């Protein structure tokens, strides 16, 4: 079993760290709000640390699950003094490829390794230990971390060198944005045409139109229920990262840019914390 540290106990990180403890790993946790770290340690076998460097000291594997580039940069600055030779730092935050490359270089200077490893699967995936993890970084470090990540990851793939995991996550979010908008438009059409949504979904979900979003979200979308899943605020952050990278590499993302603005409409409606399936709300299917 490994000595691990987990920093960032949000809706994803809290259960992920719990899976590490349940798998028998030694776990130290840290969270910006200390009460949450203490709550975690009272629920799981593990230690709540008061500072990032304290949590990381002596750890073989360090896991981060934070909000955005500035959060990752600040926490890494704080924990870096405790990063020793052979330490593997795994960042599950969806952040920029540029930051991943910078931190990988800093880790290498200390004889450590840094893997950018954004996740997909939502809160349910984290709670069920069934996340998809897209990784960038050194192959040997990935091979070391993979058995430990398997405590909460169902599919772990090394895409390439540092930054490749974050770029793959952008692809994931680009695809999701288009799929959810298509589903929202389809359900809007169903309503305007006076069709039975359940029968339409039954008819089309076995064919090429099928998607995870259709299978898991159509009923709540029709019901105007958006209090679950991945929040609009976080999706806009992820799409911002994708669009910024597209401006750098020349990729054309007109649909993504459009859906990003539709999510801005949702935010203006008061739906910043609604699930991403709330795209239907801007067409008239209001939240209930």
Band of residue 229 on the pLDDT scale cut at 50, 70, 90: confident
Task: Tell me if residue 113 falls in helix, strand or coil.
Answer: strand
What average pLDDT does range 80-84 have in this prediction?
A: 97
The three-state secondary structure class of 64 is strand
Helix, strand and coil content of the chain, in percent to the nearest 5, comes to 55, 15, 30
Give the chain's mean pLDDT: 96
pTM for this structure? 0.94
So what's the pLDDT on residue 191? 95
Give the pLDDT of residue 228: 80
Burial class for 188, CB neighbours closer than 10 Å (0-12, 13-18, 19+) = middle
Q: Residue 285: pLDDT above 80? A: no
In contact, 281 and 271? CB cutoff 8 Å = yes
Chain centre distance of CA 134: 10
Q: From the candidates 45, 146, 169, 287, which is the catalytic residue?
A: 169
Does the annotation count 45 as an active-site position?
no
Residue 286's pLDDT band, with cuts at 50, 70 and 90, is low
State the average pLDDT over residues 137-162: 98
Distances (CA, A) of 10 to 33, 189, 243: 10, 37, 25
Three-class secondary structure of residue 159 per DSSP: strand
pLDDT category at 282 given cuts 50, 70, 90 is very high
pLDDT for residue 287 is more than 60: no
| Separation of alpha carbons 244 and 238, rounded Å | 10
Domains of the chain: 3-161 (3.40.50.720), 167-283 (1.10.1040.10)
Question: Which residue in 124, 129, 125, 238 sits closest to 180, CA to CA?
Answer: 238
Q: What is the mean pLDDT of residues 82-96?
A: 97
Looking at residue 288, its pLDDT comes to: 54
Residue 113, pLDDT above cutoff 60: yes
């Amino acid at each position: 079993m490994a000595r691990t540290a987990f920093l960032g106990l949000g809706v994803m990180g809290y259960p992920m760290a719990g899976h590490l403890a349940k798998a028998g790993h030694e776990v130290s946790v840290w969270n910006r709000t200390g009460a949450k770290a203490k709550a975690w340690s009272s629920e799981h076998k593990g230690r709540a640390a008061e500072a990032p460097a304290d949590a990381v000291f002596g750890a073989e594997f360090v896991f981060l699950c934070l909000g955005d580039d500035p959060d990752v940069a600040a926490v890494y600055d704080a924990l870096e003094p405790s990063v020793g030779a052979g330490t593997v730092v795994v960042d599950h935050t969806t952040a920029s490829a540029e930051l991943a490359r910078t931190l990988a270089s800093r880790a290498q200077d200390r004889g450590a390794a840094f893997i950018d490893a954004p996740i997909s699967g939502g809160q349910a995936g984290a709670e069920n230990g069934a996340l998809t993890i897209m990784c960038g970084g050194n192959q040997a470090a990935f091979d070391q971390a993979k058995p430990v990540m398997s405590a909460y990851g169902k599919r772990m793939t090394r895409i390439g060198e540092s930054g490749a995991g974050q770029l793959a996550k952008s692809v994931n979010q680009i695809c999701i944005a288009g799929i959810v908008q298509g589903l929202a438009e389809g359900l809007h059409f169903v309503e305007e045409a006076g069709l039975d949504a359940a029968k339409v979904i039954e008819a089309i979900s076995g064919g090429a139109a099928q998607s995870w979003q259709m299978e898991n979200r159509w009923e709540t979308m029709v019901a105007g229920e958006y209090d679950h899943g991945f929040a609009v605020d976080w999706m806009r952050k992820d799409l911002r990262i994708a669009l910024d990278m597209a401006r750098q590499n020349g990729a054309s993302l007109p649909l993504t840019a459009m859906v990003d603005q539709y999510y801005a409409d949702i935010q203006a409606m008061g739906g910043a914390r609604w699930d991403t399936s709330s795209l239907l709300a801007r067409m008239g299917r209001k939240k209930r």
